């Protein structure tokens, strides 16, 4: 999709250009030709540096407005100011009849694409069930969805993604061996060499597998646990059986606090403090490693080799320093996008390459420069592909009420 934006101003941390790349994944970066590794989203889609700067500046400004504090179906306080500030504005997609069936998606490679309206129809038929009953997507949910990539995750998780419990895999031996036994490429600085090597040492497929394994243990512990203490006791027992190092996490760890930190667990129409009514599900975020405002300019350009590395024993990623800050320009006129989100849910397909990830291109702006929002369903290798904008991919575990069907066991790509 070719995008040429002339005036993109808006306020919302979620309203970003969300990638739709076809480059091999971060975990396979060593196989990427050098000329492809430097291509950014803006270069691929015709965005100017000024376009992206306006997007990212207002995204970062929105952090103070509190969209991350939104819970349930409550929309961010930034919504009204967003509409006033946006050129053309984010528009809420129209309601779709509950009995209208979706059309087939457009499939190409490992990706299937469709309009936001058609996705709403599929959501109502497949993902929107409560206690086995189909539900029409509400206006509040449609406005959440309109935010683009993060909107897809938001409307399916029921609360704004807060990225508390992330997992990844970093090959420490590979990184050290490459740094010790190889040299920078011709014209490559030491900082660029170290950043590139760190990026190549992450394996998204292994990070995803770790998150799936943890979610599976959590779901075993949730079964039959009528209160949080019973859940935590069973969780530690299951971890002990599996000889999982997470059992040694401090009781105040994000891992053990994840359930009580989930808004839908506390909501009386959701979990109502009953763990047995919840299930652990997964989504993913791609982002840039060097987000410390006090960090060196070189790290902001080429990546922080130490940034957002997972714990080598548990796989946990400390996401507390994730400020949604984009990569700095490496040459005049260059600019990069903040992040990308993909929704997975609770699929049971064992082969990673056959799993389906739902995401989107950008916020819904049918009467503005951006144009209408498209929704993608991608196979894992297609989802985990990336641009030069990102050097980290974390796989998040969160919880949704078990009677929601936004995370079905089986997902068919597109609509047949």
State the catalytic residues. 149, 340, 359
Q: CA–CA separation, 396 vs 156, rounded Å?
A: 14
Helix residue spans in 13-67 (DSSP H)? 34-37, 41-45, 49-61
Residue 216 burial (10 A CB sphere; 0-12, 13-18, 19+) = middle
Distance from CA of residue 91 to its chain's centroid? Answer: 22
Going by C-alpha positions, the residue among 409, 406, 322 that lies closest to residue 145 is 406
- Phi and psi at residue 139, to the nearest 5°: -60, -40
Phi, psi angles (nearest 5°) of residue 283: -140, 175
Which of left, alpha, beta for 329 (phi over 0: left; psi -120 to 50: alpha)?
beta
Residues 6+ apart with CB under 8 A from 5: 47, 48, 51, 369, 370
CB 280 within 8 A of CB 397: yes
Transcribe 217-230 into DSSP letters: HHHHHHTT--SHHH
Write the CA distances from 200 to 22, 138, 253, 387, 393, integer angstroms: 17, 42, 29, 13, 12
- Contact yes or no for 120/96 (Cβ under 8 A): yes
**Geometric angle at alpha carbon 263, from 262 and 266, rounded to 5°:** 100
* Contact criterion met (CB below 8 Å) for 25 and 70: no
């Amino acid at each position: 999709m070719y995008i040429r934006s002339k005036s993109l101003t808006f306020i919302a941390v979620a309203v970003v250009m969300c990638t739709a790349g076809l480059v091999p994944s971060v975990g396979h970066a060593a196989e990427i030709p050098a000329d492809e590794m430097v291509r950014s989203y803006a270069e691929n889609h015709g965005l100017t540096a000024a376009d992206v700067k306006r997007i990212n500046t207002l995204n970062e400004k929105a952090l103070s407005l509190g969209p991350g504090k939104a819970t349930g179906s409550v929309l961010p306080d930034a919504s009204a100011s967003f509409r006033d500030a946006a050129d053309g504005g984010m528009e809420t997609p129209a309601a779709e009849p509950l009995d209208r069936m979706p059309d087939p998606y457009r499939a190409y490679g490992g990706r299937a694409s469709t309009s936001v309206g058609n996705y709403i129809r599929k959501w109502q038929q497949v993902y929107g069930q409560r206690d086995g009953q189909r539900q029409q997507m509400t206006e509040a949910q449609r406005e959440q969805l309109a935010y683009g990539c993060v909107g897809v995750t938001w409307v399916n998780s029921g609360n704004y993604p807060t990225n508390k419990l992330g997992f990844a895999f970093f090959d420490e031996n590979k990184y050290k061996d490459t740094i010790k036994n190889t040299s920078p490429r011709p014209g490559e600085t030491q900082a660029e060499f170290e950043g590139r090597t760190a990026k190549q040492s992450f394996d998204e497929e292994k990070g995803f597998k770790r998150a799936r394994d943890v979610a599976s243990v959590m779901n075993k512990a949730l079964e039959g646990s009528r209160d949080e203490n019973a859940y935590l006791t069973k969780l530690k027992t299951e971890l002990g059986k599996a000889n999982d190092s997470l059992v040694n996490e401090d009781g105040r760890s994000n891992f053990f606090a994840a359930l009580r930190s989930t808004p839908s667990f506390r909501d009386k129409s959701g979990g109502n403090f009953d763990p047995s009514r919840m299930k652990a599900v997964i989504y993913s975020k791609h982002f840039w490693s060097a987000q410390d405002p006090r960090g060196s300019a070189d790290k902001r350009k080429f990546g922080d080799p130490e940034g957002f590395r997972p714990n080598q024993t548990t796989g946990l990623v400390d996401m507390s320093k994730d400020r949604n800050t984009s990569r700095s320009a490496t040459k005049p006129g260059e600019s990069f996008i903040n992040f990308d989100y993909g929704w997975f849910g609770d699929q049971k397909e064992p082969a990673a390459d056959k799993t389906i990830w739902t995401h989107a291109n950008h916020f819904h702006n049918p009467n503005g420069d951006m144009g209408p929002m498209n929704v993608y369903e991608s196979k894992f290798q297609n989802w985990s592909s990336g641009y030069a904008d990102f050097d980290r991919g974390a796989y998040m575990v969160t919880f949704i009420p078990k009677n929601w069907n936004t995370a079905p066991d089986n997902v068919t790509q597109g609509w047949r």
